[in-house]
Chain A
Amino acid sequence: MVSKDRIKLEVKDLEIRYGSHVALQGATLNIRENEIFGIIGPANSGKTSFLRAINRMDEMTSGMRVKGTLEFNGKDVSQWRNLYALRSRIGVVFPLPVGLPMSVYDNVAFAAKLRGVKGKANLDEVVERCLTRAALWDEVKDRLDSLGSLLSGGQQQRLTIARALSQDPELLLLDEFSIAVDPVTTMRIEEVLKDLKKEMTIVLVTNLVQQARRLADRTALFLAGEVVEVGKTKRLFGGAATDQRTTDYIEGRFG
């Protein structure tokens, strides 16, 4: 398990602002290769902003400023000249499923086409592989040509996961993916994630404390723009959190 300790994402003293409003401050943490890194915390804690900083969405968001160190594979993301290449290595899943206005097939083939994969056979292979991995293939294999937006909410969210997988990402960012998804689908996706972490690093922002407990190797608590505590999930949930606020949040005493 040597790779377990390789650092995928190194964050030092990160600060994120929107104009004069500070969304995250003094964030310092490491995310290791092939781990599921859980982020919990109440709304407006800066969790989504943190994910945006990782794939350099600040460049597309008016007013957003990022300061500090954020190294991806040892190279600061602010040093990347080709942001599209950076983003294409990072898969993103949004809270509400965003089916692009195209067919199920095209939703998944889109990123592959952007990368220059050509030929129907190759694209077919990508589509089937990714939909299978996202536990959606059996449900949609007969309706690949229908619109992605016609699928149910849970299916659409798995479609967006399949789409993210089609990038062959090294890093998968999930932002409260289960907010609009039924419990059964949530469980299926959680199984998928456990499996995926063998191949990639996963950052799981979740509104469900228990989801972090079930999936995350390590967990961080974000609170009002501050990283309160980072630690092994087992330790935090085993009553050994060092910060009282962590215990309070995990036990549902606020937030």
Chain B
Amino acid sequence: MSDAIKNGFQAAPLDRRNQRNQRVFRLLFLTMTVILIVPVVVILALLTIKGAPALSWGFFTESPKNGLTEGGIFPALVGTLWLVAVALVASVPLGVAAAIYLSEYAKDNLLTRLINLAIINLAGVPSIVHALFGLGAFVLFFKFGTSILAASLTLAIMTLPVVIVSTREALQSVPQSFRLACWSLGATRWQTIRKVVLPNSISGILTGVILEVSRTVGETAPIMFTGAVFFLPFLPQSVMDQTMAMSLHLYNVATQVPDIPEALPFGVALSLILMVLLLNSVSIAFRVHLRRVKKW
């Protein structure tokens, strides 16, 4: 290779500085990412190491015994599934319908903007406030008592903004040109929504539901006053029953019960995380499936 060509390829001083900058920023962002991931890994590792000894088949299928110091988590597990399921049934149809209205029907006027603002603010209300609201509204005013129904409705109200916001974003990610083309063919708004908008935003909508599920499983404050209890030797039979729940159970075994084997709270925590991961992966698998058949 001749010198001229070699020199031609040699970086000018400015180029070299840019390259150095690029390396520096790359390293910076990499470090940030690692800093972000480390706690997650540490938490999972710690929980697994400390909690794994407590896990056994019996741990998942038995009731707690001796003032929660022995036995398993079965009633709490079932109770959380109840709470999540009822909360989903209440909040998903409502949230999705509200999002469809706001994104597909509502005119862009002051009222709509106010509603949107209210929803965003609602998402920022602390869960303990929702808890007190649930207590006042569902337990006392509607006289549901402390029950799965009251607790789930509290959870539903708390997560409704999440569902609405994420659903609306999913709907708005569908290109406007599809709607225009569809309307031009003489389709009504609803036909357009059903045939074109919803099928192409369903995976985004599910993302919102996934978020809601994970949040619902972990919430403690909203269910503490409204339906979840310290200990119940039997499973709930209907939505009017009280129930144990994983999150509250963890709080109890970690802080309220003296002389507890160290592995037990970690076992409960690990199970709670596993439960969230399991529920999420079901939804994610469904989503991946839908995304594979995505049409544009």
Contacts and interface: CB of A to CB of B under 8 A. Distances in A.
Interface in B167-191: 177-188, 191
A90 B183 CA distance: 11
Contact of B295 (A84, A98, A111, A147): A147
Contacts of B187: 84, 114
Contacts of B247: none
Contacts of A94: 177, 180-181
A178 interface: no
A164 B181 CA distance: 10
B185 A149 contact: no
Given A57-B180, A114-B191, A101 B186 contact: no
Interface in A1-31: none
A71 to B, nearest CB: 20
A101 B200 contact: yes
B45 to A, nearest CB: 43
Contacts of A160: 181
Given A111-B186, A114-B186, A149-B295, A100 B181 contact: yes
A99 B108 CA distance: 27
Interface residues of B, number: 22
A228 to B, nearest CB: 28
Contacts of B180: 57, 60, 94, 98
A34 interface: no
A96 B295 CA distance: 18
A100 B183 CA distance: 12
Given A102-B295, A147-B295, A149-B296, A114 B185 contact: yes
Given A94-B180, A101-B178, A62 B185 contact: no
Contacts of A164: 185
B16 interface: no
Contacts of A99: 296
B175 to A, nearest CB: 8
B198 to A, nearest CB: 12
A101 B252 CA distance: 51
B212 to A, nearest CB: 26
A77 to B, nearest CB: 14
B296 A101 contact: yes
A86 B184 CA distance: 10
A219 interface: no
A98 B178 contact: yes
A157 interface: no
B196 A100 contact: yes
A155 interface: no
Given A55-B184, A91-B184, A114-B187, 4 more contacts: A57-B184, A110-B185, A111-B185, A164-B185
Interface of B: 107-108, 177-188, 191, 195-196, 199-200, 294-296
15 contacts: A57-B180, A57-B184, A60-B180, A84-B188, A89-B186, A94-B177, A94-B180, A98-B177, A98-B180, A101-B199, A102-B295, A111-B185, A114-B186, A114-B191, A164-B185
